[in-house]
Amino acid sequence: MHIGHLRTYFPADIYVRYQRKLGRDVLFFCGSDTHGTPITVKAEEQGTTPERIFKQYHEHFRQIFPRLGVFFDNYGSTDDPVNHHRTREIAMNLIENGYIYQKDVTLPYCPTCERFLPDRYMEGTCPHCGADARGDECDQGCGRYLEPGEITDPRCTICGTTAVHKETRHHFLKLTAFKDFLREFLEGLGGTENARNYAKGWLKGGLRDWNITRNLEWGIPFPGTKDLTFYVWFDAPIGYIASTEEWAERTGDDWEHYWKGPGRLIHFIGGDIAYHHCLFWPSMLKGAGYSVPDAVVASGMVRVKGHNFSKSRGYVLWVEDEYLEEGLDADSLRYYIASYTGHTRDLDFSWETFAGKLNKELVGILGNFIYRSLLFAYRNYGNVPSGFIEPQIEGAVKKAIADITVYVQNYEFKKICDTLLGLAVTGNR
Ligand SMILES: [Zn+2]
Ligand SMILES: [Zn+2]
């Protein structure tokens, strides 16, 4: 886990804690995304199996969340049998409702490896901007999601051979049938503006039907086929439902209340996956007879020491090795992430800024206020004395509560921190 992950998880946890404090019926779910070619390519490079790779990551994440004070009602995995079952069920619903169809397409194939080249198995040139891109995403250029076969000059990632094109049968979600629904959905969608606007831009540019199958062994088999699995972005979000089902199985509660009933659904995501959560996912849910999200909250990017986040270049903060194992306290990092800047803006991490913020704000203002007032009370009275609160102070507290209520509703975590710190400043005065 690196700091980029926490940019999403900490604010989500703050939001959930707030709702829980008010006694609201709130559930908090997450899970490991276990399928897709990033995992199979890594497994091939390391000479191991995708299963071993994902179990290693899954265990790491499962163990580290409690150490960060982030407590999910369930932390699942998309390879769990519950998710296999729910994915098939949703696909069968979509097929029955006429939203999934099959079509023969020609796709890049490696004659050396003798296989089709899904997603990360090929590299080439982005047809939109001309940058170097990988099979499913223009990661070096415009950031667009790329449909299978869309990339130009494809070559095999594993052996470097130039790909040839070969015909194969695939299954498509009729995204074009959801155009009117999506327009209305995005108008009413809560959350942050960056997610909404990104999806609206795509809708304006015109939707295309979405290939939801891959010639890949690792994944959830597509019903009625021998060599196709679901595209990872089909079964990954269904993992949210499966995680809820696992929780319901354990507690005897009803998961459908939240996914087909009156429950409100809020997604906290990284800004780079708004496309999937605001277009694909609501269409799948709608077409299969489930509730659709009420809000999508997308965080901004993370930079490290002023540089674009990059694991390979070392512009990263590893949460376990470089932070927790150094004996540092999780809440300090939580405060840094929540208070550094607005949720949708770019956050920069450096140790200098980290130390500066902590010393000035948490130690100098909040810590100072608590320490001085408790020490004053202890020395003079031996306890917290009874008495009345000055109207001016009571007014400041009430205003802070009213302000924070609005800020939570608008996902403005920095303003929540600033308001709390403002109370400490008042207290110090
Ligand atoms: Zn090859
Ligand atoms: Zn591009």
Ligand minimally distant from the alpha carbon of residue 131: 2
How does pLDDT run across 96-128, given as a tens digit for each residue?
Answer: 999 999 999 999 999 999 999 999 999 999 999
Centre of ligand 1 to C-alpha 362, Å, is: 54
Contact 416, 14 (CB under 8 A): yes
Ligand 1 centroid – CA 150 distance (Å): 18
Ligand nearest to the CA of 161: 1
pLDDT attached to residue 143: 82
pTM of the model: 0.93
State the distance from the centre of ligand 2 to the C-alpha of 420, rounded, in angstroms. Answer: 43
For residue 111, which ligand has an atom nearest its CA? 1
| Residue 272: band (very low, low, confident or very high) from pLDDT cuts 50, 70, 90 | confident
Rounded to the nearest angstrom, the distance between the alpha carbon of 46 and the centre of ligand 1 is 16
Which pLDDT score, from 0 to 100, does residue 9 have? 97
Distance from residue 113's CA to the centre of ligand 1 (Å): 4
What six digits make up the tokens of 232?
Answer: 């990872």
Q: What is the pLDDT of residues 327-363, one digit of tens each?
A: 999 999 999 999 999 999 999 999 999 999 999 999 9
Q: Which CATH architecture has domain 100-173?
A: Beta Complex (2.170)
- Cβ–Cβ < 8 Å for 226, 246: no
303 CA from centroid of ligand 2 (Å): 21
**Local confidence band at 313 (pLDDT 50, 70, 90 cut-offs):** confident
pLDDT tens per residue across span 213-234: 999 999 999 999 999 999 999 9
151 CA to centre of ligand 2 in angstroms: 9
Helix 368-381, helix 413-428: angle, nearest 10: 40
pLDDT in tens, 378-396: 999 999 899 899 999 999 9
pLDDT at residue 61 is higher than 90: yes
Average pLDDT over all residues of the chain: 95
Cα 235 to Cα 320: distance, rounded to the nearest angstrom: 29
Q: Is the dihedral of CA 39, 303, 192, 65 positive or negative?
A: positive
Please tell me the distance between residue 121's alpha carbon and the centre of ligand 2 in angstroms: 18
The rounded distance, in Å, linking the Cα atoms of 425 and 429 is 6
Residues with Cβ within 5 Å of ion ligand 1? 110, 112-113, 156, 158-159, 161
Residue ranges of the chain assigned to CATH 2.170.220.10: 100-173
Asked if residue 416 lies in contact with residue 407, where contact means CB atoms within 8 angstroms, the answer is yes
- Kindly give the distance from the C-alpha atom of residue 287 to the centroid of ligand 1, in angstroms, as a whole number: 37
131 C-beta neighbours (distance < 10 Å), count = 14
Q: In terms of Cα–Cα distance, which of 358, 387, 369 is closest to 423? A: 369
pLDDT of residue 204: 92
Determine the distance separating the centroid of ligand 1 and the alpha carbon of 161, expressed in angstroms.
5
Q: To 5 degrees, how large is the angle CA 107–CA 111–CA 117?
A: 40
- Say how far apart CA 338 and CA 18 lie, in whole Å: 14
Report the separation in Å between the CA atom of 166 and the middle of ligand 1, taken as the mean of its atom positions.
14
pLDDT of residue 279: 96
Residues of the chain with CATH 3.40.50.620: 1-99+174-349
Return contacts of 349-355, CB within 8 angstroms, 24+ apart.
349/3, 349/302, 349/303, 349/304, 349/305, 349/317, 350/304, 350/305, 350/306
Class in CATH terms, 1-99+174-349 = alpha beta
